[in-house]
Amino acid sequence: MEFQFDWQAAINSIPYLIKGIPYTLLISFGGLAIGFVLGILFGLLSLNKSRLMRWPATAYIEIFRGTPILVQVLFIFYGLPDIIGAPINPLVAGIAAIALNSGAYISEVVRGGVQSIDRGQTEAGLSLGLSRTQTFWSIIWPQAFRRMIPPLGNQAIVSIKDTSLFSVIGVGELVRQGQVYIANTFTAFEVYFAVAVLYLIITLSLSLALRFFERRGLGSV
């Protein structure tokens, strides 16, 4: 029998799927906010001249960039409770996984952004009587941050899409909502099509916002 796409089934699923968008955004941007802090911390540590300071940053970056985020969230949700002796809320596990994973990638963005600034900028700041700390935060960091905006935006989009994996721990995000709806309606193709469209709307909206800021000069030096 020839397959026919049921547009009405896809449309009917949207009100139910939309219930998962707040969870998707909360996990994404909550995790990214923490990940940005971790990224700055470990990114700057990776630039430190002391090996003792660089080692923890290198270990963190390599571990979380070198392992799948699905394995990371499964370890946090199922493995960590055995260590701490208490269950972990699925939403908390999702935010933690996004934070740790994105933090590792953001660390590299921070490191690359800072290293891209000419050393003459530091020498100029020191020649003006500024301390190294003042020079960094007043001269180097603002320029580096502008260059970081595009890759940070890309990481935000990746993290939003990564939340789709967290249906395995029962987080009620978009994919999980779709799975529950499919179990009741048996319209898998149409529902997953609607899920993909909603993800596309979210990521395209973020991409357009980032391009707007770049056109306003926030993404250029």
Is 138 part of any domain? yes
Residue 221 within a domain: no
Percent of all residues in the chain with a pLDDT value above 70, rounded to a whole number: 97
Q: Residue 23 maps to which CATH number?
A: 1.10.3720.10
Closest to 64 measured CA to CA, from 54, 75, 80 = 75
Q: What is the pLDDT of residue 219?
A: 44
Res 220: pLDDT? 47
Angle at CA 218, nearest 5°, toward 35 and 138? 75
What type of residue sits at position 16? Y
Q: Alpha carbon of 57 to those of 87, 88, 111: distances in Å?
A: 28, 26, 11
Q: Does any domain span residue 122?
A: yes
Write out pLDDT tens, residues 55-65. Answer: 999 999 999 99
Query: What's residue 217's pLDDT?
Result: 57
The answer to the question of residue 1 being in a domain is no
Q: Is residue 45 part of a domain?
A: yes
Identify the residue with better confidence: 183 or 221. 183
Q: Give a yes or no: residue 93 inside a domain.
A: yes
* Residue 2, in any domain of the structure: no
* pTM of the predicted protein model: 0.91
Chain centroid to CA 173? 15
What range does the domain containing 40 cover?
7-215
Total domains in the fold of the chain: 1
pLDDT in tens, 76-95: 999 999 999 999 999 999 99
Contact at 8 Å (CB) between 160 and 28?
yes
Q: Has residue 107 been placed in a domain? A: yes
- Digit-coded pLDDT (tens) for 15-74: 999 999 999 999 999 999 999 999 999 999 999 989 888 999 999 999 999 999 999 999
